[in-house]
Structure 1
């Protein structure tokens, strides 16, 4: 087969491919832009190959807090997540938490912040530091900075940075909801 015939067949094949991929109204001219990609030319008797790569840029949807109403801090024990909320809307979170061990579970229910201490030390557990403590339930149960790997004695552990955010956001009397 002659070189000219092969080139003509290649051109016909490209036109057929373009027509098959065109929108229902037919083939339209490409949009022009100051940022358009450079055109390329395929020499007769050669083949051009292109590879398209797409990257997903959408984030997975964030879990919704299981709390409602006037809640200022919401904890999901099953998801091990917490949120700060204002007027029913999430303003911070979700953030990871670690709650009580099976033998000393974090109490579930609706509570109010009772008091706060930014540099608290446990009087029950060998003077362990409890930075950014926000006490919300009887028995010394609080949000505070602590391990996210080991269960607590009933408190809700947050990273140090997240515990500071909770400490600054939650005032005495703020509503805390702890859900299963």
Structure 2
């Protein structure tokens, strides 16, 4: 009887507990024509930052993706080990990441990635870690 009561209590406890804790959603929306990223958390804009997307002859793909993987101290395997701090990869070799070329932010300058001031990339990286990859979306539009 004691075993039955314990099992019943445990079952009721599990039924009353939430299935999962909602960590929220982050959307990094990039407007290529403005060279601006707006970051939304649960639908509310929390940041607006200048970015650099693809320079002439290169492409930053348009669309929407969930974040795929993170790399805090990434170095480019395609561009001479160029530093890509706080990388959030969202489509193949394309990532949102920090840059040391801050004077170029606000205009096209990259080989296709979305560049941010490194301190801003660190904030976005930390938010992504907090909510999880499945809850972080990158949207790139004109």
Match of 2:78 among 124, 132, 157: 124
Q: 2:123 aligns with which of 143, 165, 171?
A: 165
List per-residue Cα deviations over 1:12-36 (Å, max 9, x = no partner): xxxxxxxxxxxxxxxxxxxxxxxxx
What residue ranges of structure 1 are gaps of 5+ in the alignment?
A: 1-69
Question: TM-score, normalising length from structure 1?
Answer: 0.57
Alpha-carbon displacement from aligned partner over 1:21-63 (angstroms, at most 9, x marks no partner) = xxxxxxxxxxxxxxxxxxxxxxxxxxxxxxxxxxxxxxxxxxx
CA RMSD of aligned residues (A): 1.5
Q: Which gives a bigger RCO, structure 1 or 2 (Cα 8 Å, sep 6+)?
A: 2
**Within 5 A, what are the aligned runs for 1:17-32?**
none
Which structure: greater strand fraction?
A: 2
Count residues in correspondence. 109
Question: Is 2:109 the counterpart of 1:154?
Answer: no
Stretches of structure 2 lacking an aligned partner (at least 5 in a row): 1-24
> What is the distance in 1 between the residues matched to 2:56 and 2:77?
21
Structure label with greater radius of gyration: 1
Query: What is the distance in 1 between the residues matched to 2:140 and 2:41?
Result: 16
Which structure 2 residues correspond to residues 29-178 of structure 1 after superposition, within 5 A? 72-92=27-47, 94-138=48-92, 140-146=93-99, 147-148=101-102, 149=104, 151-170=109-128, 171-173=132-134, 174-178=136-140
**Whole-Å separation in 1 of the counterparts to 2:82 and 2:66:** 24
User: 1:119-161, CA deviations, whole angstroms, 9 ceiling, x for partnerless residues?
Assistant: 00001111111000000112x1111111241611100000011
Q: Is the 8 A contact 1:71 1:177 kept in 2?
A: no
Cα deviation, residue 102, structure 1: 2.3
